[in-house]
Structure 1
Amino acid sequence: MNPPFLSIYWNENVEESFLDEDLVKKNLELILPDIKPKFLKSMELDILIVSDLEMTNINRERRNINRTTDVLSFPLFQEFPPLPHQMIGEIVISLDTCKRQAIEIGHNNIDEFYRLLVHGVLHLFGYDHETSLEDELVMKKKEDECLAKIFGEDNGA
């Protein structure tokens, strides 16, 4: 696989970011071959890191829900026609919510960020946890596999 073209944006209103763009890209390149269809040779993916205030605005504008959330995915990927290069979509992550959830769940910010990122990527490729218990279990299993690959072990995230 050609490495995906990956553009990552840190919004200027998000301070004290603990993220390393190069490491995020490397970890995505590690897990994407196990998620993407074989025909997809290269891809583009936008990741937007925002504050809770910005996430609330995006959630309201795009989903008509007037509150923040942890991660949103806006898929553009299509299986047919099977194009070898695609913009697969956009993932928006609230860094404020990420940090809060890390404390609530009891793991660190990096673990929570990757849990949200993997969750968002899976949604871009059609994984869904809201349609049925079976789909939820399939998505959770794939999430765990991806996180184990990123962290080199099953971290229970």
Structure 2
Amino acid sequence: MAINFTAHEVKLKLKNRNKLKTFIRELFAREGQGLKNLHYVFCSDEYLLQINQEFLRHDTLTDIVTFELGEDPEVIEGEIYISIDRVEENAKKFQVTEEQELHRVIFHGALHLCGYKDKSKEQSAKMRAKENEAIEMYFDIKI
């Protein structure tokens, strides 16, 4: 189970990488999902916009794009692109620390790969609840 973090032309402030990798593995296990390979790429708005346009045909800024790459539905392989610019802006907007917002987005991508969606109001509410649960467990706080 490989989990990798890469910064693409941005400064990455990611503390306790080993703790985070262990937690992500546990998240997949709690959700009953096998995990083979997961690669997080932290990047700029500009870079993620290019990905959003090229692969999803969306011409909007976003904080995250998640790709399922595996052919075996029993074992997850994926890439998750996260805009550090969006994380910083959203942390201010939602009045949370950048570290907490970064982890929320990291967990959000993992939850997408576990099958959670956020297209409808109901799906978004469930996704938000799962994100909050992960944040609370990871940081040992109550939201």
RMSD: 2.0
Structure 1 residues 94, 51: closer, same or farther in 2, change over 3 A? same
Unaligned residue ranges in structure 2 (runs of 5+): none
Match of 1:147 in 2: 135
Structure 1 residue runs of 4+, over 6 Å off?
Answer: none
Q: Is the contact made by 2:24 and 2:110 (CA closer than 8 Å) also made in structure 1?
A: no
Larger deviation, residues 51-60 vs 140-149: 140-149
1:135 aligns with 2:120: no
Q: TM-score, normalised by structure 1?
A: 0.79
> Structure 2 residue aligned with 1:125, among 114, 117, 121?
114
Match of 2:78 in 1: 89
Write out aligned runs for 1:1-157 (5 A): 4-11=1-8, 13-15=9-11, 17-20=12-15, 21-37=17-33, 40=34, 42-76=35-69, 80=73, 82=74, 86-130=75-119, 132-154=120-142, 156=143
Larger deviation, residues 59-68 vs 48-57: 59-68
Map Cα deviations across residues 32-71 of structure 1 (whole Å, 9 max, x no partner). Answer: 321233xx2x421010100111011111111112232101
Shift of 1:87: 4.4
Cα distance in 2 for partners of 1:113, 1:146 equals 12
- Counterpart of 2:102 in 1: which secondary structure? helix
**Percent of aligned pairs with the same amino acid:** 25
Q: Is the contact made by 2:76 and 2:113 (CA closer than 8 Å) also made in structure 1?
A: no
Cα distance in 1 for partners of 2:92, 2:121 equals 27
Cα distance in 1 for partners of 2:135, 2:127 equals 12
Unaligned residue ranges in structure 1 (runs of 5+): none
Q: TM-score, normalised by structure 2?
A: 0.86
Shift of 1:78: 6.3
Shift of 1:124: 1.0
Structure 1 residues 103, 22: closer, same or farther in 2, change over 3 A? same
Structure 1 residues 145, 79: closer, same or farther in 2, change over 3 A? farther
